[in-house]
Chain A
Amino acid sequence: MTGAVLALLRRLASWLVRGPDAPYVRGDLEEAWERDLGRGIPQRRALLRYGWNLAASAIAMGRARLRVPRTGASWLDLKLGLRMLRKQPALTVVAVFALSIAIPVSLLPFHVAQAFKVTLPFDEGERIVGLRNWDTEASNEQSRSLHDFHRWKQELKSYEAIGAARTDPYNVISEDGRAAPVRGSEVTASTFDIVRVAPILGRRLVEADEIAGAPDVVVISSDVWRSRLGGAPDVVGRTVRIGGVPHEVVGVMPEGFLFPFRDHLWLPLRADPLDYQPGQGPDLVVFGRLADGVTLAEANAEIAGAGSRTAKTSPSTHARLRAEVVPFVQVTMGGELDDDPGFYALQVLALILLAVACGNVGTLILARTSTRSAEIAVRTALGASRARIVSQLFVEALVLAVLGAGFGLLLGDVVARRIQALVASQLPFWFDLGVKPRTVAWALGAACLSAVLAGVVPALKATGRGVQRTLQRATAGASGIRFGGMSTGLIMTEVALAVVFLTMGAMLAPSVLQDRSEGMGIADEEVLASTLRIPRVDPTSDQAEEHERRFRVRVATTQQELLRRLAAEPGVRGVTMASSLPGQDHREVWVEVEGEDRPSGSQGHWLRSVLVDVDYFRSLRRPVLLGRDFDRADLVGESIAERPPVIVNTSFVDRVLQGRNPLGQRIRYIPRGGGEPSAWYEIVGVVGHLGINEINPARDEGVYHPVPPGELNPIRIGVHVGADPAAFTARLRALATEVDAGAMIQDPMPLDEAFSEVRAGTQWGTFFLALLSAIAILLSSAGLYAIMSFTVAGRTREIGIRAALGATPESILRTIARRALLQLSAGVAVGLVAGGVLVRLLEDDSAVQPFTPWTPLALAAGAMLLVGMLACLPPLRRGLRIRPVDAMKEA
């Protein structure tokens, strides 16, 4: 990492440090770096010093070369810049809009990485670390680390304390009988020493609580205290039932304390390593507080030593594990983002996007500058230095860029908060996506960079020619500036991008604009959807098999009994269970049909499959259209094991079987990455549309499998109750708790809302694409407009003379519009090719699959051509209206 940054800085030094003294300065940079390291300055700091020295040197030497006076820019420039904003509102709007999107997007990867780098909000929170076993072959964490936890606790000396937690949802039944799942953790008593947070009421957990057979106690969050126990001041000593077992509340933690993840309950961790084999037992998160003076590197060295000793004594479980210590936030969120090469690629890509946007705004500014070439020439003649004029144009661009960055930050903050609100329950308590001071600083940096790209480059171009020539041309009514190949390339790229983005947007649009109920097949606004989960208890080694058998029986009994009671409940019209309900996310699979040649290079037919209760279609009142429905006999018996039955839908018959008779046909699954196909399944029936593809009902080929009770845990459960299904939640929870005190009803919501949530992701994607398309269209149109206006302004005299000599309007039109139209059509052509490749790539993909993928592409290309030509119209009209007399007058 350091090496790469250093290499980059050296390359920058060879580019940026110019002038007669450059070799000495570059030598000094190197020597200073060596000396800094020699003095024991940490590499990171030394790199920062190198970077600062390089940047400051480049500026100082660049200034000396350009002879910029020390007060190059002034308040006057700022005032001029602000006045230009008002004078040319169209340019202002386009440029600010483009930058207000480009700047936040360019910072997005960096911003997200920063959100992972926070310190826990506790006293010396940066000293809280996670200890884990990293599986070097599977590249994931091996979290069944009960044995290691106890070994680490005894052997390691780098910590004030080590603790562990096992996080799970618990069914909490308060005194009034209300039940709801609450996320909580079994934790060691040491956890409270590590976080250094004391309860606001009662006591924390202590070691005596961890002994098996000690009274059942719980510490609760402020939130649970208020919402479930009415915030009673005498809460300590009261009883709540957790998974059916009464627990005494012994303490309440302060507001906002949700360690380790987003937990609201803390129970004593009572797992005994003697009950489990090494590598078995509960999933644990292990953490500790580094002792005073111990660095992360030292702690890592120590745990690596302990890890390799364990690998020697128990190679079967530990040979591929690497014990390591990482900042705590990494334990709960996986790896560190910016260690990933893909992250850098993304960041570079984002910066390229910014550069493209800046290049474009630069084109517009250049066009504007061209109309001011006379002003510039006169100012130069009156004694303004080139640097003075460049700095004025820079400040003008800077005003635009800072405005863009400001709007961009506001927009980014709104979007980030929206996203955070949507997924908050899935994120650790410390995760905050909001805009922070550091992001603001980076955005201002990006604004300066944008101003350099969009302001200085055109300014250098505008001032580069001899004053004499510019003055001559200026007096002749023309501009001294020409557009180069750069702007041509930019406009072409944007036209092409606009076509591609428009195509993707158009491909996604049908799924966003579709009628919600289409393809759903049921009145989903009358159904209460939820997830029924029976919490697992990790079996001890000697009882594993027996435990597993008993647990399955318990799940099966609970599911069946709950179904029975719900069906008997007044007002309930139907109830069913499945791995996914209509409109929820379904598993994507690849299937081949027996006796049908798989097309070469294809993985078979892409579709969705779902496991359903045998009464699924009956309870949803969607009878089979052909063949037979599932029945109990499909769940048992040897003939079933040989010829397991499935039911397919009409889309499957239409698209996979091309309308052939499905009954008796056999299908099997092909694993995505290759490998052994599954057993053959026999099609016994056909049903209609039933919301199997929540994103795109146009592609809802699907296969239904019968599933016996107890097989799935958790399982989705749908209760058809009629109007206001949400009101039934409390009753559903009460029934579930009656059946099994540990059973939890999670995420209850009307099925149509569940569907909207699933679709929200696609909507965001489409919105984002629409935004990108809008930017690309706006920028390319503005660019085309600028070039056309420029051509017309620059060739007024020529056009006038040609008109005077009798040229037809058509030939004049050709003269003016040739270049812009060439760029436009070349861009559309490139866009068509790129879009064609994209359509081919996405042809088999899930979300973006309309019937005719080529229609959106053709529409997008046509739309772009039209918009491009419209952008050319106003300057064209201006060109055609030039009268020879006026042109001559100007001359």
Chain B
Amino acid sequence: MGYLGEFEQLILFSVLNLGDGAYGVAIREDIEARTGKVVSSGAIYTALGRLEERGFVSSRSAAAGAGRAGRPRKYYALEPAGARALRSTWTTMQAMAGGLIPRLTELAER
């Protein structure tokens, strides 16, 4: 199946969320808007490159959009293998976390 790191999960969820519009800037802004985390464009592409090697996402190059100084965009889509990996990582995490969140909160805020 394959383990997914936190950053990779963030990216995959973002690709899923954006659907047809998933490319560098959109993913970066989506992550920033939903989590408040600022990530670098380079980190996004290197992570997506690894995920693509593992067959979790696919990519296609598209013509330059506005304001890109003539440079192309690369759109990503979530592949079934990626969807399975993400679901598995997430459900594993949820299963482990089941019923523990109140205690976790209590400990964290003590």
- Min Cβ gap B42→A in Å is 3
B46 at the A interface (CB under 8 A): yes
Complex contact A29–B72 (CB within 8 A)? no
Q: B42 — which chain A residues lie within 8 A by C-beta?
A: 17, 21, 25, 53, 56-61
User: How far, in angstroms, from A23 to B45 measured CA to CA in the complex?
Assistant: 11
B40 at the A interface (CB under 8 A): yes
User: How far, in angstroms, from A24 to B75 measured CA to CA in the complex?
Assistant: 10
* Residue from A20, A28, A35, A64 in contact with B41 in the complex, judged by beta carbons closer than 8 Å: A28
Complex contact A27–B64 (CB within 8 A)? yes
- Min Cβ gap B59→A in Å is 9
B104 at the A interface (CB under 8 A): no
Q: Closest residue to B65 on the A side, CB-wise?
A: A31
Which of B8-16, B23-31, B83-91, B93-101 forms contacts with chain A? Answer: B23-31
Q: B49 — which chain A residues lie within 8 A by C-beta?
A: 20-21, 64
B107 at the A interface (CB under 8 A): no
A32 at the B interface (CB under 8 A): yes
Complex contact A28–B67 (CB within 8 A)? no
A883 at the B interface (CB under 8 A): no
Interface of B is mostly: mixed
Q: A56 — which chain B residues lie within 8 A by C-beta?
A: 39-40, 42-43
Within 8 A of B (CB), among A12-30: 17, 20-21, 23-30
User: How far, in angstroms, from A455 to B24 measured CA to CA in the complex?
Assistant: 34
Q: Mark B26-63, 1 if CB is under 8 A from A, else 0.
A: 00110000000011111101100100000000000000
Complex contact A61–B69 (CB within 8 A)? no
Q: Closest residue to A24 on the B side, CB-wise?
A: B74
B103 at the A interface (CB under 8 A): no
Complex contact B67–A61 (CB within 8 A)? no
Q: Mark A28-65, 1 if CB is under 8 A from B, else 0.
A: 11111111000000000000000011011111110110
- Min Cβ gap B39→A in Å is 8
B68 at the A interface (CB under 8 A): yes
- Min Cβ gap A8→B in Å is 15
* Residue from A31, A53, A57, A59 in contact with B67 in the complex, judged by beta carbons closer than 8 Å: A31
Complex contact A64–B46 (CB within 8 A)? yes
- Min Cβ gap B75→A in Å is 10
User: How far, in angstroms, from A831 to B67 measured CA to CA in the complex?
Assistant: 52
User: How far, in angstroms, from A55 to B24 measured CA to CA in the complex?
Assistant: 16
Complex contact A53–B40 (CB within 8 A)? yes
Q: A59 — which chain B residues lie within 8 A by C-beta?
A: 40, 42
User: How far, in angstroms, from A35 to B38 measured CA to CA in the complex?
Assistant: 15
Complex contact A21–B45 (CB within 8 A)? yes
Q: A52 — which chain B residues lie within 8 A by C-beta?
A: 38, 40
User: How far, in angstroms, from A27 to B68 measured CA to CA in the complex?
Assistant: 5
* Residue from B40, B43, B45, B67 in contact with A35 in the complex, judged by beta carbons closer than 8 Å: B67
* Residue from B40, B69, B72, B74 in contact with A57 in the complex, judged by beta carbons closer than 8 Å: B40
User: How far, in angstroms, from A29 to B45 measured CA to CA in the complex?
Assistant: 12
Complex contact A32–B25 (CB within 8 A)? yes
User: How far, in angstroms, from A56 to B47 measured CA to CA in the complex?
Assistant: 13
Residue total for B at the interface (Cβ-Cβ under 8 A):
24
Complex contact B69–A28 (CB within 8 A)? no
Complex contact A32–B46 (CB within 8 A)? no
User: How far, in angstroms, from A61 to B42 measured CA to CA in the complex?
Assistant: 6
- Min Cβ gap A183→B in Å is 50
Complex contact A60–B72 (CB within 8 A)? no
User: How far, in angstroms, from A412 to B67 measured CA to CA in the complex?
Assistant: 45
Q: Closest residue to B27 on the A side, CB-wise?
A: A28
User: How far, in angstroms, from A24 to B66 measured CA to CA in the complex?
Assistant: 13
Q: B66 — which chain A residues lie within 8 A by C-beta?
A: 31, 34
Q: Closest residue to B39 on the A side, CB-wise?
A: A56
Within 8 A of B (CB), among A58-99: 58-61, 63-64
Complex contact B40–A27 (CB within 8 A)? no
User: How far, in angstroms, from A53 to B24 measured CA to CA in the complex?
Assistant: 12
Complex contact B29–A24 (CB within 8 A)? no
Q: A33 — which chain B residues lie within 8 A by C-beta?
A: 67
Q: B29 — which chain A residues lie within 8 A by C-beta?
A: 32, 35
* Residue from B41, B64, B69, B71 in contact with A32 in the complex, judged by beta carbons closer than 8 Å: B41
Take A30-B67, A57-B40 as given contacts and tell me if A21 and B25 are in contact as well, using a CB distance cutoff of 8 Å: no
- Min Cβ gap A40→B in Å is 15
Q: Mark A200-226, 1 if CB is under 8 A from B, else 0.
A: 000000000000000000000000000
Take A21-B46, A64-B46, A64-B49 as given contacts and tell me if A26 and B40 are in contact as well, using a CB distance cutoff of 8 Å: no
Within 8 A of B (CB), among A696-713: none
Q: B40 — which chain A residues lie within 8 A by C-beta?
A: 52-53, 55-57, 59-60
- Min Cβ gap B44→A in Å is 8
Q: Closest residue to B48 on the A side, CB-wise?
A: A21
Q: B41 — which chain A residues lie within 8 A by C-beta?
A: 25, 28-29, 32, 53, 57
Complex contact B46–A28 (CB within 8 A)? no
Q: A60 — which chain B residues lie within 8 A by C-beta?
A: 40, 42-43, 46
Q: A20 — which chain B residues lie within 8 A by C-beta?
A: 49
Q: B25 — which chain A residues lie within 8 A by C-beta?
A: 28, 31-32, 35
Q: A31 — which chain B residues lie within 8 A by C-beta?
A: 24-25, 65-68
Complex contact B71–A24 (CB within 8 A)? yes
Task: Pick the most buried of A27, A35, A52: most chain B CB atoms within 10 A of its CB.
Answer: A27
* Residue from B45, B64, B65, B69 in contact with A25 in the complex, judged by beta carbons closer than 8 Å: B45
Q: Closest residue to A64 on the B side, CB-wise?
A: B46
* Residue from A21, A30, A32 in contact with B74 in the complex, judged by beta carbons closer than 8 Å: A21
Q: A63 — which chain B residues lie within 8 A by C-beta?
A: 46
Take A21-B49, A26-B71, A27-B64 as given contacts and tell me if A32 and B43 are in contact as well, using a CB distance cutoff of 8 Å: no
Complex contact A34–B72 (CB within 8 A)? no
Complex contact A25–B67 (CB within 8 A)? no
Complex contact A27–B71 (CB within 8 A)? yes
Complex contact B28–A32 (CB within 8 A)? yes
- Min Cβ gap B37→A in Å is 12
Complex contact B72–A27 (CB within 8 A)? yes
A-B contact pairs, 27 of them (CB 8 A): A21-B74, A24-B23, A24-B71, A25-B41, A27-B68, A27-B72, A28-B28, A28-B41, A29-B41, A30-B71, A31-B68, A32-B28, A32-B29, A32-B41, A35-B29, A35-B67, A56-B39, A56-B40, A57-B41, A57-B43, A57-B45, A59-B40, A60-B46, A61-B42, A63-B46, A64-B46, A64-B49
List 3 A-B pairs, minimum CB-CB distance, nearest first. A57-B42, A27-B71, A56-B40
Can you name 7 extra interface pairs (CB under 8 A) apart from A21-B45, A32-B41?
A: A27-B24, A27-B71, A30-B71, A31-B25, A32-B25, A53-B40, A57-B42
Interface residues of B (CB under 8 A from A): 23-25, 28-29, 38-43, 45-46, 49, 64-69, 71-74
